[in-house]
Chain A
């Protein structure tokens, strides 16, 4: 008998009187001890499926038909009390976002203790506080948190994202559940931390012999954590089967597109961008940026966000800037754009020092496309109004603005009718196209792309990247591409650099950097990227444990 057997599940949401079907005839089987992955893009219904199993669906959801068999018994026929009793004991979930999954005004220990206390109560064996404290310390050590006492006493904001993610895993493992569901664990974290977290989950699943359902949109993650895969699209399971078969010979077009959309890291599919031999557009010489914080009674605190960086971006190139959060990428990009002045060192534009122009760069030099189009567009403005702002600053009269708006929409492959749409009427990819159009409006020579695709699904990412390549070719643009997704950068950039703690530790052509990374941090960064094939995995650079310890912020401490 299968541990979990979902049969023809139909589920719909009703909001504001409108009913929308979220799951259509979803069937999925997990045997005891099996490792299954459920993959799909945003809105495909994968999280809804897991919530239906856990019984944490929002109030406006309704199961229309179908069965969820747990050890042969239909969960949908059980009472709320019976289903509550399974939570955290028989089935547990590792939540997706470690940063928002804890109540900020309670200590970590309080969360853990309450979860454990109520689980014990439901299992009919109430326990003492001391006994629970011992079990909490033990489980925290199991998720490789070295100092359980400190973690327990800490408030969520006092722990790093990686540490909080470990605590979330500990929460899920507390009662050694029969089924562990991981809902995109670590996606909110840096690549190297995410890699650590995935390894940890994988190890625990194998060590403890857990049954695992991994929910993810990242196919590279799936390769390492699952044996069988279900692919979901628009509320339906479109394909399922053993991992290898699905990756190597997908039957449906959708699954094939999904696999193809992943930029390869090594191998024949890798694309080399042509190196530009144009004159330098922006040059930074020994640039340092120090942030000062005034203190009341103590001396001021200084933080060096960028340290002695030399950089030049040639006309027409796609310059990639890689690094993890806090490495100084964004500060550097702001100085390149001329919206922030360096504390030391000089910035040259077209060979002329920036200080000659009063320290302010021309609006027509650089524009930026932000990471999350959902928040970078004003929700109260239509697309037309959003595009109108930079055009007005460019001094165009209404008629020209109209013409230019149409032209911009055409450039980013959006229909003209979109001028009247509000951001919430657009998909993520369409919103990012609008953001790109807005950056193009001022007719800049350089566009800073600040992780422009990290909020998008892979298939959408592929189309947006294709659009960016086309625009660069047509308009002769130069890009500064900021990202932590090295596999994407490998294929998209003509030159890349790696930043680590404010310093530039590596610079060169992608083919050279990836074939022979000089700095151990670069090696660690590349090694952490989830890849789709074993061949690529084998070609990744090796990192020694000492190097790891020296260059990666451990989330275990």
Chain B
């Protein structure tokens, strides 16, 4: 790795911190511009004007906007997003309670996307212009074009009709509903605490929402992997190895695959944003009770503090995911590391 890689990382981190700051500014301005007084929303229509004024000054809403923004950012960095206007409890606490659910769903989705999308893309490229390739291309087109909530509903119906004992709502069997683990990710907690039954139940519940959510990503990753493989297939370095008799399968699965994984990984980072957006609906369909459905509720109820928190936390997700992907790509491609250290 060396100093080049450290510098490469440092630059990315600084850049992403900047992205988050801009995001914070935008959501802050939006929250202050939309009609509706947070203090009035918190107190309800029956409160008197004096009560509202008092709460306003308590919440710091009378301060000049720049000062409010500095406050907001300073608090947010420490994990304080204020009080929920609806429930009256700290927003951070509410989010912490539901975040693991979404985290688990999103991570499972990413794993499925990669494990299914990459190999299918490689296969489609290797058996290019055969019936298998055509079939895979049609499937990927369906994945990309059909909205994920449609998949969610279809899968749910499928499970309800054909797999009668398969759970289609929630995260765990009712019998296990009281379970609580150290990380909040049920699959992981089950393993950590030795409760295999919890892990199995969690995986069962996870399967269909994650598959529904992964469909569009699978389609995209497959198509991009396929075209990257085909593109690199024409390069001289393939010709070099082949003309010395290195078998075609080795060239494809080792040499071409590593080079072709860069493009789909990059796309996956961008795909992450739509993943969170889609999770909003899929979670509702499967009564997932996660972060996304809570976010939707906050938006509908105009719980401005919660909305700002939801947006910022999603932004963090996005940024961290992209940082990880950049690191991964940096590990794959030595040219990126060299560019920084030169």
Contacts and interface: CB of A to CB of B under 8 A. Distances in A.
Interface of A: 54, 56, 84-89, 92-93, 95-97, 100-106, 111, 114-115, 118-119, 122, 155, 157-158, 168, 171-172, 296-297
Interface in B1-42: 7, 10-11
Contact of B334 (A96, A155, A171): A155
Contacts of A97: 236
A105 B240 contact: no
18 contacts: A88-B245, A95-B239, A100-B236, A101-B239, A102-B240, A103-B255, A103-B258, A103-B259, A106-B255, A106-B258, A115-B246, A118-B246, A118-B247, A157-B334, A157-B335, A168-B240, A172-B244, A296-B10
Contacts of A172: 244
B245 A85 contact: yes
A58 B330 CA distance: 33
B235 A93 contact: no
Contacts of B237: 100-104
Most A-side CB within 10 Å, residue of B262, B335, B338: B335
A102 to B, nearest CB: 5
Interface string B233-273: 00111011111111100100011001100100000000000
B68 to A, nearest CB: 33
B333 interface: yes
Most A-side CB within 10 Å, residue of B11, B241, B250, B335: B241
Contacts of A115: 241, 244-246
Interface of B: 7, 10-11, 235-237, 239-247, 250, 254-255, 258-259, 262, 332-335, 338
Contacts of A54: 243
B126 to A, nearest CB: 13
Given A93-B243, A171-B244, 18 more contacts: A56-B239, A56-B242, A56-B243, A85-B245, A88-B245, A95-B236, A97-B236, A100-B237, A102-B237, A103-B237, A103-B259, A105-B332, A114-B241, A115-B241, A157-B338, A158-B334, A296-B10, A296-B11
B131 to A, nearest CB: 18
A171 B255 contact: no
A86 B338 CA distance: 38
A297 B11 CA distance: 11
A103 B334 CA distance: 11
B243 to A, nearest CB: 5
Contact of B245 (A102, A104, A118, A296): A118
Nearest to B332: A105
A106 B258 CA distance: 9
Nearest to A91: B243
Given A56-B239, A105-B334, A155-B334, A119 B244 contact: yes
Contacts of B259: 103-105
A105 B250 contact: no
Contacts of A88: 243-245
A155 B241 CA distance: 16
B241 A296 contact: no
B128 to A, nearest CB: 10
A88 B244 CA distance: 4
Nearest to B240: A101
Given A105-B334, A157-B338, A296-B11, A100 B242 contact: no
B244 A155 contact: no
Contact of A100 (B235, B255, B334): B235
A4 to B, nearest CB: 16
Q: Helix, strand, loop or mixed for chain B's interface?
A: helix
B341 to A, nearest CB: 11
B333 A171 contact: no
A158 B254 CA distance: 21
Contacts of A92: 243-244
A471 to B, nearest CB: 37
A171 B240 contact: yes
Given A118-B247, A296-B11, A95 B240 contact: yes
Most A-side CB within 10 Å, residue of B245, B255, B338: B245
Contacts of B240: 95, 101-102, 111, 168, 171
Contacts of B332: 105
A293 to B, nearest CB: 9
Contacts of B7: 296-297
A114 B246 contact: yes
Nearest to B258: A105
A105 B255 CA distance: 8
Contacts of A89: 245
A114 B250 contact: yes
B335 A104 contact: yes
A84 B237 CA distance: 18
Nearest to A83: B245
A89 B244 CA distance: 8
A114 B247 CA distance: 10
A115 to B, nearest CB: 4
B236 A155 contact: no
Given A92-B244, A106-B258, A118 B250 contact: yes
B260 to A, nearest CB: 10
B150 to A, nearest CB: 38
Contacts of B262: 105
B57 to A, nearest CB: 44
B190 to A, nearest CB: 38
A87 B255 CA distance: 19
Contacts of B243: 54, 56, 87-88, 92-93, 95
Nearest to A301: B342
A260 to B, nearest CB: 33
Most B-side CB within 10 Å, residue of A54, A106, A168: A106
Contacts of A103: 237, 241, 255, 258-259
A168 B7 CA distance: 33
B338 A119 contact: no
B323 to A, nearest CB: 17
A376 B11 CA distance: 35
A103 B236 CA distance: 9
B249 to A, nearest CB: 11
Contacts of B258: 103, 105-106
B338 A87 contact: no
Most B-side CB within 10 Å, residue of A92, A93, A103, A168: A103
Nearest to B335: A157
Nearest to A96: B236
A89 B246 CA distance: 12
B236 A104 contact: no
A104 B333 contact: yes
Nearest to A174: B244
B253 to A, nearest CB: 12
Nearest to A99: B236
The 5 closest A-B pairs by CB, nearest first: A87-B245, A88-B244, A155-B334, A100-B236, A103-B237
B266 to A, nearest CB: 14
A93 B247 CA distance: 17
Nearest to B244: A88
Nearest to B245: A87
B223 to A, nearest CB: 21
Contacts of A95: 236, 239-240, 243
A469 to B, nearest CB: 36
Nearest to A97: B236
A104 B255 CA distance: 10
Contact of A105 (B11, B236, B333): B333
Most B-side CB within 10 Å, residue of A88, A101, A168, A171: A101
Contacts of B334: 104-105, 155, 157-158
Contacts of A158: 334, 338
A157 B10 CA distance: 23
B254 to A, nearest CB: 8
Nearest to A171: B244
A103 B338 CA distance: 16
A119 B246 CA distance: 8
Given A56-B239, A171-B244, A155 B255 contact: no
Nearest to A119: B245
A100 B259 CA distance: 13
A189 to B, nearest CB: 15
